[in-house]
Amino acid sequence: MTKKTRLGLLLVLASTSLLVSCSHRDTPASSKEAPAHSAKEVSRATAKLTQTNEAKAGFHDEAEAYMKKANELAQQGQLEGALLSYSKVIELDPKSSEAFNNRGSIYLGMGQLEKAISDFDNALLINPRLSIVYRNRGAAYFQKGLYQNALENFDRALEIDPLDAEARGGRGNTLFQKGSYEEAIAEYSRAIQLNPLSPMLYRNRGFAYAQKGDYARALEDLTKLIEMNPNLALAYENRARIYYVQGDYGRALSDLEKAQSLGLNIPDEFLERLRRSK
């Protein structure tokens, strides 16, 4: 079955606090032990500290500004610009797990899988408790066809966040590709319980049912997909496949004509062949 890669940018859009870590000398045990300072010396020291803190604040403000710009560009689909801005954040703040994850997500969507995995690795070195990064790295391994690596990452994501429906769906997709259709159906069902409004979960579970030969349940899920997305051409094409396998060429033709009317490219000669087969 042809795998269609979705460009799902799994961005951590919540702003991450950029904390300034300042080291201080130990406070003297008593005022008697403390060195004496003139008022002028104290004033100069305070001014220097204030200037240093202002410089650090400006530095972090610049990183935050690039992060905001990068997220906006990513949402607008301007991926090259987003990459440049995330790279600038990393240059300014090499401990930003958010920037590494988001840049990795762009690389993932562009199919540059080695770069994506490298960025996810760096994000997890900084913060190993980010479930979204394990999920994203699992998606990258899935696209590389390294299904065991993918499962390990989806499992790690679920250890951290058992309510991560996308990680459940990722496990389902991986098990599907491994031919474990019963297990895939179970994972899709768990994911649907967590997120019943995700159309692609119904689509993928429907295909898993079809692979098992359970066409009735496959049609239920694909009909649910159409109910949720009545203007999604691919949904009709997906259901037409099941009707076609069942030999119900009339309904297959109806769904394909609907898909064509919604802009999907269906060869006219194939439609004509179905019309003659009705």
Q: What is the pLDDT of residues 254-269, one digit of tens each?
A: 999 999 999 999 988 8
The CATH class, in words, for 218-278 is mainly alpha
The CATH class, in words, for 129-196 is mainly alpha
> Domain ranges in the chain?
53-122, 129-196, 218-278
Whether 53-122 shares its CATH topology with 129-196 is answered: yes
Q: Is residue 69 within 8 Å of 84, Cβ to Cβ?
A: no
The CATH superfamily holding the domain 53-122 is Tetratricopeptide repeat domain (1.25.40.10)
Q: What is the mean pLDDT of residues 165-177?
A: 97
Q: Is residue 239 within 8 Å of 226, Cβ to Cβ?
A: yes
Q: Residue 30 has what DSSP assignment?
A: S
Distances (CA, A) of 100 to 87, 108, 116, 157: 8, 12, 9, 17
What digits encode the pLDDT tens for the residues 91-105? 999 999 999 999 999
Q: What is the mean pLDDT of residues 211-228?
A: 95
- Gap between the Cα atoms of 77 and 50, Å rounded: 41
Whole-model pTM: value is 0.75
